[in-house]
Amino acid sequence: MPSIAIAVGDVTYLIWTVARDIGLNITKADLGDVEIDGTKPPQVAQDDNTYIEWSSIPGLTAHKLSGGGFNFTTAPATHTYTMVINEPATATAGDLATLTIQTLDNGQPLGHQVITISANGVEADHDYTDATTGSYVW
């Protein structure tokens, strides 16, 4: 499980999903290359995760804890989650038809979401959507 925060020198960085989860528009989410509304905040990549400098996340407030560290808060965000089946493929009877599923939050791609596909109550596949596009092909 990734750390929620890391310190580099005197600067605290939060995992990029914090910005996504509070409702900010993540326009790019590649390792070490995350953009919020098209702007790349200060960030570091560590252990296959990207961390963003906390002060560059709009609406986030840090509260210093007496024992050290911080508690971060933000106003509640409204999310409208949807799942779209894009361009269902056709196939010859007996052949497999490719199915593309995309997860969205407020109409924007929402990557790295768990997808479980079941047939007649039996799990047929379990994986994650693409981190950038929110898509999954089955």
Q: What is the pLDDT of residues 85-117, one digit of tens each?
A: 876 667 788 777 777 888 888 787 877 777 888
Is the same domain home to 38 and 95?
no
Strand, coil or helix: 137: strand
Runs of H (alpha helix) within 53-128: none
The pTM score is: 0.52
Number of domains in the chain: 2
- Give the C-alpha separation, 36 to 18, whole Å: 12
2: pLDDT strictly greater than 80: no
Is the same domain home to 39 and 59?
yes
Model confidence pLDDT, tens digit, residues 46-75: 888 899 998 888 888 878 888 877 777 776
Where is the domain boundary, 33, 51, 73? 73
The domain in which residue 108 lies consists of 81-137
The conformation of residue 74, written as its DSSP 8-state character, comes to -
